[in-house]
Amino acid sequence: MSNLNKTVVLITGASRGLGASIAKSCATQGAKLLLHYGQSQQAMQDLTFELGDSVLGTISMDLSKPGAGTALWQAALEISPNMNALVNNAGCADEISFTDTDANWQDCWSKVMAVNLQAPADTCRAAIASFNKIGGGQIVNIASRAGQRGDHLDFAAYAASKGALLALTRTIAKGTAKDNICAYNIAPGWINTEMAPTDPVVIEKATAEIPIGRFAEPSEIGDLTAFLLSGACASSTGATFDVNGASYLR
């Protein structure tokens, strides 16, 4: 098991689902947490109560707003100046048809790109500046299988944003390895959270293309994230870890 006793990590989108599982895995392995959430205040309060002293603070911020990623990192720094890890988990998967109005198309793409790409890029940039002052750090970006193989046409913005996030992480890894900064991608397929489909027909169809026969559990990704944050395999920096039950193989 990895050891995160010296890790202080900011996790975005941490109140529910995958973000909460990542927070729990990191806390179990000794990390101290700064937890970001959007509007799910009650869920954030419940998680904070569950994790107790592992949580140093919580921050609510709308990551679709300009400059939000940078502001989030600065707010977290005010709570804990010795942060040495970042997990960009927050994301949105708004859908828009190619036949929708120009205004709706622009609004959807702007929001998805802001939350899924610009905000993570900004937090990574701010984190790297901080890590350079303390001798290094760890970054894990939660991308998606969709960023590698594409997605349904109505989710083109989501797929494009996650593909760009994959490229961003690789670029960071190449450019900052000399400074003892590691960056990793995790690219899940379907995950068994409240964001998963509930229609039995859709679930059956989605499961049929997964050789392992089920959606990934959020705890699997949480444990993988904690391992990567531990620095136990720094030579994997820049790698993308697929968690999709062998439904997409590279």
- The tens digit of pLDDT for each residue in 131-153 reads 999 999 999 999 999 999 999 99
Give me 177's structure tokens: 């390895």
Q: What is the mean pLDDT of residues 112-125?
A: 98
Distance in angstroms between the alpha carbons of the first and the last residue of the chain? 27
pLDDT top residue among 205 and 240: 240
Selecting from 3.30.1950.10, 1.10.260.30, 1.20.1260.10, 3.40.50.720, what CATH number does the domain 8-243 have?
3.40.50.720
Look at residues 14, 89, 3, 79 and name the one whose alpha carbon lies nearest to residue 50: 14
> Model-level pTM?
0.96
Please provide the average confidence, as pLDDT, over all residues in the chain: 96
Owner of token pair 């970006």: 141
**Starting at the edge strand that comes first in sequence, how are the strands of the sheet with 85-88 ordered?**
55-60, 32-37, 8-11, 85-88, 137-142, 181-188, 240-243
Tokens describing residue 14 = 């941490």
pLDDT at 2: 65
Are 69 and 126 in contact by the 8 Å Cβ rule? The answer is yes
| pLDDT for 1 | 52
Distance (Å, rounded) from C-alpha 67 to C-alpha 1? 37
3-state secondary structure of 174: helix
